[in-house]
């Protein structure tokens, strides 16, 4: 029977997870991805990755410290966070995450502290407040054993896989939201996490005036691989889902079919990804113009950060607007207060503040695989491969 129905009366169903969740997923992905980008040099001793690792560690620690604050803020009862440990429910991915997250945080803090400790020790005799802070944070003058750093670093890597797994699974198991309920979501979080991390390091390479050419080359390669991986995952999601009328692809197509904003989102996301991929490939292939091009790759970094953040916004916020029982779409204007715009800006502000504080007090440019203060003086200016003729934009 052919019929037309009009829904006369239905309540509003507001979103339940606020933009804080986007901030958490964004920062924690940056955290684990930058940890893996720092790992070759800092944990496994590959010298040619050291400049990248130094920038990555700065990004990693700052993101790791701020991410749990955003997560806490997304609780409606943040002061009850201790209930996670008093009444842990191992049936819940979120509860599993609440066990992994502090272990991960502590291992990252331990790793970065050990990597920065020799340089901090070298600063112990610095005048004024810097010397005081250096003496206080470096905890004595004893050497930092490399083996301990490696052990803590490997532990951090293991915990980070737990973070990748739980953050993805937590969202992907929700059958009530077909757009989340797909095996391809967790790997997509990881792939876009690496895109964002590579982008952030390109940007940091610029704004910290490090301007290292090898950093740019390495990050562009990571970006290329991660963008390709994201494309493969997206293609697999579409192809695998075509045959499943109840699945997330069908839901996605239905959402887009009746909504201009979803169609625009899909278009914008695809265009951004293609721009990023083509731009990265162009810079990598065009070796003759490299010094000039490299002074502009931070722009690709910005595009990558935009892509990673937008993906999380669409997945976590926009999907909550897709009505499950009522007709049409739920409309959500970002509120100005702490559960909206202020929360987003506040998290970014806090993150920036943490990075600036680290930059003020910690000689993060001298991060190394442990050792003693004496190693630091010997090794200054070891990185001579800076981008030439490109110091005026920072």
Partner 1 sequence: MDFIRRSLLGQLARLSAGAALVPLSSLAVAGINEQPVRREGDPTKRYGMLIDLRQCIGCQACTVSCHIENAAPLGKFRTTVSQYEVEDLASGALATFMLPRLCNHCENPPCVPVCPVEATFQRQDGIVVVDSDRCVGCAYCVNACPYDARFINDKTQTADKCTFCAHRLEAGLLPACVESCVGGARIIGDMRDSTSQISQMIAEYGEQLMVLQPEKNTLPQVFYLGMDERFVTRPVAEAALLEVLDNQGKEMGYEFSGH
Which residues of this chain interact with partner 1, rule CB under 8 A? Answer: 1-14, 16-17, 74-77, 80-81, 83-84, 86-96, 98-100, 103, 107, 145, 147-148, 151-152, 154-155, 158-159, 162, 169-170, 173-177, 246, 320, 323-329, 331
Provide the minimum distance between the beta carbon of 15 and partner 1 in the complex, in angstroms, as a whole number.
9
DSSP state string for 230-271? HHHHHHHHHHHHTT-TTSHHHHHHHHHHT-HHHHHHHHHHHH
Q: Tell the smallest beta-carbon distance from residue 348 to partner 1 (Å).
A: 23
Alpha helices, H only, 123-212: 128-138, 146-172, 185-207
Dihedral through CA 168, CA 169, CA 170, CA 176, nearest 10?
110
Kindly tell me which of 245 and 291 has the beta carbon lying closer to partner 1: 245
Q: How far is the CB of 376 from partner 1 (least distance, A)?
A: 21
| Cα–Cα distance, 174 to 181 (Å, whole number) | 6
Based on CB atoms, which residue is closest to partner 1, 146 or 306?
Answer: 146
Q: Which CB atom, from 71 or from 355, has the smaller least distance to partner 1?
A: 71
CB 147, min distance to partner 1, A? 7
Distance CA 224, CA 30 (A): 17
| Distance (Å, whole) CA 34 – CA 205 | 13
Nearest to 96 by CA among 152, 159, 155: 159
Distance CA 316, CA 75 (A): 15
Beta-carbon contacts of 82 under 8 Å, excluding residues fewer than 6 positions away, are none
Nearer to partner 1 by Cβ, of 296 and 329: the residue is: 329
Considering beta carbons, is residue 13 or 282 the nearer one to partner 1? Answer: 13
Nearer to partner 1, 286 or 326 (CB): 326
Q: Facing residues of 371 across strands? A: 144
Least distance between partner 1 and beta carbon 89 (Å)? 4
Nearer to partner 1, 115 or 200 (CB): 115
Taking the CA atoms of residue 237, residue 238, residue 242 and residue 243 in that order, the dihedral angle to the nearest 10 degrees is -20
Phi, psi dihedral angles at 212 (to 5 degrees): -85, 130
**Smallest separation (angstroms) from partner 1 to the CB of 159:** 7
Q: Closest approach of Cβ 43 to partner 1, in Å?
A: 13
- Three-state DSSP at 211 gives coil
Q: Which is nearer to partner 1, 330 or 365 (CB)?
A: 330
Q: Smallest distance, Å, CB 45 to partner 1?
A: 18
User: In this structure, what token pair is assigned to residue 285?
Assistant: 């292939």
Q: Give the count of beta carbons closer than 10 Å to the beta carbon of residue 18.
A: 23
């Amino acid at each position: 029977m052919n019929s037309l129905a009009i829904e006369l009366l239905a309540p509003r169903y507001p979103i339940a997870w606020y933009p804080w969740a986007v901030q958490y997923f964004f920062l924690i992905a940056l955290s684990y991805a930058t940890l893996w980008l720092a790992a070759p040099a800092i944990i496994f001793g590959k010298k040619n990755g050291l400049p990248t690792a130094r920038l990555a560690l700065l990004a990693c620690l700052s993101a790791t410290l701020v991410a749990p604050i955003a997560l806490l803020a997304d609780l409606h009862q943040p002061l009850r966070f201790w209930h996670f440990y008093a009444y842990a429910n191992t049936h819940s991915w979120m509860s599993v995450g609440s066990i992994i997250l502090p272990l991960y945080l502590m291992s990252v803090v331990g790793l970065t502290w050990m990597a920065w400790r020799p340089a901090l020790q070298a600063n112990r005799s610095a005048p004024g407040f810097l010397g005081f802070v250096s003496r206080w944070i470096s905890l004595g003058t004893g050497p930092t054993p490399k083996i301990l750093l490696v052990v803590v670093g490997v532990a951090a890597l293991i915990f980070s896989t737990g973070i990748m797994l739980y953050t993805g699974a937590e969202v992907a198991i929700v059958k009530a939201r077909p757009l989340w309920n797909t095996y391809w979501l967790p790997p997509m979080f990881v792939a876009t996490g690496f895109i964002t991390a590579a982008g952030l390091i390109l940007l940091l390479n610029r704004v910290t005036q490090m301007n290292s050419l090898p950093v740019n080359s390495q990050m562009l390669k990571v970006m290329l691989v991660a963008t390709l991986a994201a494309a493969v995952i997206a293609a697999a999601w579409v192809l695998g889902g075509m045959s499943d009328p109840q699945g997330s692809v069908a839901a996605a197509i239905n959402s887009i079919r009746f909504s201009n904003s979803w169609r625009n989102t899909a278009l914008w996301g695809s265009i951004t990804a293609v721009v990023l991929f083509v731009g990265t490939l162009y810079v990598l292939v065009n070796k003759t113009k490299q010094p000039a091009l490299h002074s502009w790759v931070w722009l690709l970094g910005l595009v990558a950060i935009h892509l990673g953040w937008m993906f999380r916004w669409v997945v976590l916020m926009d999907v909550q607007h897709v009505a499950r029982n009522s007709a049409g779409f739920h409309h959500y204007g970002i509120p100005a207060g702490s559960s909206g715009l202020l929360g987003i800006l506040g998290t970014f502000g806090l993150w920036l503040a943490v990075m600036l504080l680290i930059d003020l007090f910690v000689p993060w440019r001298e991060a190394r695989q442990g050792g003693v203060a004496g190693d630091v003086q010997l090794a200054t200016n070891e990185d001579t491969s800076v981008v030439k003729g490109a110091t005026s934009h920072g």
